[in-house]
Amino acid sequence: MGVLLDIDHLFEYFTHTGVNINIKRFFHYSYQTKYKRLYLFFHAYEYLMFIALITIIAGYHPLLIAIGIGMMQHLLLDQMYNQARPMAYFISYRIKNGFSTQSFFKDGVLSRLPKDEALF
């Protein structure tokens, strides 16, 4: 489940480039963070509370526990390695800030990214 969260990165890419299935261009956009807005609809701590509630109601079903653990691991690792602001992985924070890429990353992160403009 943890890796399925990344499907929302395709939404980001298609929103900014149109439906263009070019793997090199996709990774170019992702690594250089060329997006003006980051929606990342599936990357949100708030959903963990919902999953926890459903897990309790369902009697701690192993599949729901695995989904919750996978999602929590994914979000925590993204939080640690993506140089995001402390609140960046809360969808409510992103909504409040208009999904701005600037409000997602810590100060100075975007200016340190490579400036290569070539789009494969």
Does residue 45 carry a pLDDT above 90?
yes
Bridge partner list, 70: none
Start-to-end CA span in the chain (Å): 31
CA atoms of 10 and 26, how far apart (whole Å): 8
Identify whether the C-beta of residue 11 lies closer than 8 Å to the C-beta of residue 19. no
The model's pLDDT over 5-43, given as tens digits with 9 standing for 90+, comes to: 777 877 877 877 778 777 777 766 665 666 778 888 999
Domain ranges for the chain? 2-112
CA atoms of 96 and 100, how far apart (whole Å): 9
The model's pLDDT over 60-103, given as tens digits with 9 standing for 90+, comes to: 999 999 999 999 999 999 999 888 999 999 999 999 999 998 89
Identify whether the C-beta of residue 70 lies closer than 8 Å to the C-beta of residue 9. no
The number of beta carbons lying within 10 Å of the beta carbon of residue 115 is: 6
Bridge partner list, 100: 37
